Structure 1
Amino acid sequence: MPLHIAYGAPSALRARCEVATVRTTRPDEAAYEPGAIIPAGQWRPMREADVKAVTAPRRPLDSALVEIVRPTFREGLPLEDLTGPLGDPDAVYLGQALAKPDMTTTTDNYEDGRLIGLHLDNWDKLAYADRHTGRRRLCLNLGPGVRYIILGAIDAQAVCRAVHPDYHADRYPHTQDYRDYVASGRPIRIIRIRLAPGEGYVAPTEYLLHDGSTEAQDRPSAAAFWLGHWPRGILPSLI
């Protein structure tokens, strides 16, 4: 299943989102791992065709759906407790991450500090056949600055099939599959979604290429993250 975003008003979606394509990094971009995937060129407004492409079917699979939300966070409430009322008693608080201003992508390899670019998460360690059933990630932008979530429009199962024509059900999709896909000259469309402080997303980051961004922002942004199996609509939608 490709990228599907839940929304009510197309105008609200378009006001918050921009579109671009990707490229792999050059050898002189030493801040990144070799072959990392990053946005290419300028971001442009969403067109009607872009909106149609991310529109979810009538009965979407909750675990593969992206939602732009306002988590019900109150000052003084421990962040670990935020997901208590959301319907998954086994949800896990992953902690916080601080992104400096003006970062094209934000996630680094903790072992050497190099940025990994757009990538797949692998908390659930699900093989190809079950990849679409993983937990979704909830993110809350703690501020003080605006940040973005960047999402790839093609899912991990489709990329795995394209890169490994002899794929089998127990193969494990990996960030490297996406890197090989892009390095072979195949395009990936990406969507950048703006998140102000207090706003967030719920997204299948085990299933879609993604990363955070603070590009062109002059303030840092901290974010808190959780993983869980949450039904769609459990948090108020912003769009």
Structure 2
Amino acid sequence: MRLAINDPRALLGRCDDAVVRTVEDDEPDYEKGAVVPSGLWRPLTEETGRALTAPAWAPSSTLVEIVRPLVPIGTEPAHLTASLGADDSEYIGQALAEPGMRTTTDNYRDGRLIGLHLDNWDKLTYARKATGRRRLALNLGPGNRSVILGDLDAQAVCRAVHPDSYERRCPHTDDYRAHVAAGHTVRCVRIRLAPGEGYIAPTEYLLHDGSTEDETLPSAMAFWLGHWNRGVLPSLV
């Protein structure tokens, strides 16, 4: 994970981290084998923040940015696309999450939660996985919301799980599930977002999901895909 950071103190004030674990049979709300945070959250340390800070040369397509887009009050999200700083940005909809959800994305076929996962909108092979569109997500409120991001990228996990064939594969959520089930450590970072705040992240490249754990109000998120250059939208950290 590479975070575009201007003010490390602002980052530390809204982040914590934990290791992930595999879901077992006693959690029927989740798919078996899903990867979720362990729940043993700790405040993000300055050392970890420095380790996650993106160097100046890092490609924009691999960066996580915490942003607050300057949008007119009352504007429908679908009408914001042209003003969000990426010529090719595409509005892909909204999702509402009730309060108290450890992770928020479910499998539409059966309603079970899928846990931390990779997106696959662009259907990229291993060699191109780091070049995909990033996701812009904006918290519409009324409650706070968090994004959870894994610190180990999809190419690294694919190489570890398929050492003899990774170059022919499309990295997938199942690679992370196999990697964690085999006992390997993957850490995740939870970043809190108030209404009006959002993130731009390579969700095809990093394990991720939303969370409303410990919140008392529901929140809706609006989503776009596009190729944002670093720093196009105002940063919060």
- Same fold per TM (> 0.5)? yes
1:100 is aligned to: 98
**CA deviation digits over 1:191-219, x for unaligned, max 9?**
00000000000000000000000000011
Question: % of aligned pairs identical?
Answer: 63
Alignment partner for residue 183 of structure 1, among 181, 184, 187? Answer: 181
Query: 1:69, 1:202 within 8 Å by CA — same for their partners in 2?
Result: yes
Alignment partner for residue 51 of structure 1, among 49, 68, 75? Answer: 49
Q: 2:235 aligns to what SS in structure 1? A: coil
Gaps (5+ residues) in structure 2? Answer: none
Counterpart Cα distance in 1 of 2:132 and 2:97: 26
Alignment partner for residue 72 of structure 1, among 62, 67, 70? Answer: 70
Query: 1:121, 1:205 within 8 Å by CA — same for their partners in 2?
Result: yes
2:165 is aligned to: 167
Q: Which amino acid aligns with 2:230?
A: R
- For 1:1-239, list aligned pairs within 5 A: 3-239=1-237
Q: 1:139 aligns to what SS in structure 2? A: strand
**CA deviation digits over 1:84-118, x for unaligned, max 9?**
13443332111000000010000000010000000
Counterpart Cα distance in 2 of 1:208 and 1:119: 8
Measured after TM superposition, the shift of residue 76 of structure 1 is 3.4
Gaps (5+ residues) in structure 1? Answer: none
Counterpart Cα distance in 1 of 2:110 and 2:173: 17
Q: 1:169 aligns to what SS in structure 2? A: helix
Query: 1:72, 1:82 within 8 Å by CA — same for their partners in 2?
Result: no
Counterpart Cα distance in 1 of 2:74 and 2:217: 24
- Count of residues paired in the alignment: 237
Superposition RMSD in Å: 1.0
Measured after TM superposition, the shift of residue 147 of structure 1 is 0.3
Counterpart Cα distance in 2 of 1:37 and 1:213: 14
